[in-house]
Amino acid sequence: MIIKSYELNKIDINKKKLFLLYGHNEGLKNEVTKKYFVDKFTGNIFRYDEKEVIDNNSDFFDGILSRSFFEEKKLFIISRATDKLNSIIEEILEKEINDVVILLNASILDKKSKIRKLFETGKDLICIPFYQDNNYSLFKIASDVFKKNNISISGENINLIIEKCSGDRRNLHNEINKILNFCLEKKNINREEISKLINFYEDENFFVLIDSCLEKNYIKVKKIINNNNFNNNDSIIIIRSLISRLKRLIDLKKLESQIGNAKETVNNFRPQIFWKDKEIVEKQIKIWQTNKIYNLLDQVNEIEVKHKKNSNLSNNLIFDLILNTSNS
């Protein structure tokens, strides 16, 4: 059964024993795990990695099946879950297991995934997808934190922080904590201070590359790629940053359909777009059709899935896609 993360409060978790949390958004998954499972659980909590479960299959089942008179309910949290656990979950379903809750935390699972299909179609199984936050939700999170801590910060500077986070609220919280620590003795912060704290200048080439790609500036894209030695770690940042940019562009196109003017769309978009980026974003709105943005987003998502299996291959794929897109 598929549900949304915010619908968990409608479900009696004590009456369910198997949950699958999967998707991009590690930050939200961690929040949901803590709020709905760990904080509310009164029994014993056991944490496993998938490899530990597979390598010590018998020990894992002993832990699930064993029960003492004085022992309370057990919660098993298994991280980095993949299709390799499918047969183990099926075996658990065949057994009469009481007073046990099993929570699987998986990364991206495509539609052909066996374990995803098992949880989506299972009557007593709960499947919860976690998609990347959009810029609006991240902006609200950051804005609320700074307001609560009485820190004066502009919307443009919050947007700068969001750019660094590649659509992941866990990254956002990390960057916010840096700023909160910096502001212990002060109640305001400027753009230069923020850029240094979040190492924005180190990553600026990523954003210039992506914006140039979406602006279809092939010469500039080719120059950036040729002049930089991007590694496999850089490629995943570029992939997620491109996903974030494409989702923003989709939101911009929706707003443009209401306003009817690219320049006014940029000026009225929230969170605010930094003044020096407005001209580039306006060009992107004029260049791109919504269906083509969705097609490109699907391609980038597929590359992100492949990155988990072969980072070297995905490194080549993402740069080929960026070059081809900028030259189309």
Cβ-contact 103, 35 below 8 angstroms = no
Lowest-pLDDT range of 82-91, 136-145, 169-178, 284-293: 169-178
What is the residue type of 33? Answer: T
Euclidean distance between CA atoms 162 and 180, whole angstroms: 15
pLDDT higher than threshold 60 for residue 114: yes
Residue 19 parent element (H or E)? strand 18-23
- Taking the complete model, does pTM exceed 0.85, yes or no? no
> Residue 200 pLDDT more than 70?
no
Tell me which residue of 142, 141, 169, 136 sits closest to 157, measured CA to CA.
142
Residues 6+ apart with CB under 8 A from 40: 13
Residue 205: per-residue pLDDT: 66
Cα–Cα distance measured from residue 208 to residue 115, given in angstroms and rounded to the nearest whole number: 38
> What number is the average pLDDT over the span 198-225?
82
First-last CA distance in the chain? 41
pLDDT recorded at residue 288: 96
Output the pLDDT for position 254: 94
Helix (H, G, I), strand (E, B), or coil: what is residue 273?
A: coil
For the segment 140-162, the average pLDDT, to the nearest whole number, is: 91
Question: 3-state SS of 244-268?
Answer: HHHHHHHHHHHHHHHHCCHHHHHHH
SS3 content of the chain, % helix, strand, coil (to 5): 65, 10, 25
Q: Could you tell me if 27 and 173 are in contact, meaning their C-beta atoms sit under 8 angstroms apart?
A: yes
pLDDT at 280 over 60: yes
Give the residue-averaged pLDDT of 235-251. 87
pLDDT at residue 225, rounded to an integer? 86
pLDDT digits (tens, 9 = 90+) for 115-143: 999 999 988 899 999 987 888 889 999 99
Q: Higher-confidence residue: 275 or 82?
A: 82
Among 2-6, 114-118, 184-188, 276-280, the range of highest mean pLDDT: 114-118
What is the four-CA torsion angle of 56, 59, 65, 67, rounded to 10 degrees?
Answer: -150
CA 328 centroid distance within chain: 28
What pLDDT sits at residue 8?
Answer: 84
Lowest-confidence pick of 91-100, 113-122, 124-133, 224-233? 224-233
Q: Which residues pair with 106 in a beta bridge?
A: 22, 81
Residue 84: the pLDDT is 94
For residue 199, which amino acid is it?
N
Confidence bin at 77 (pLDDT 50/70/90): very high
More confident residue, 265 or 26: 265
Question: Which residue do the tokens 């791109």 mark?
Answer: 288
CA dist., res. 93 & res. 100, Å (int): 12
More confident residue, 249 or 108: 249
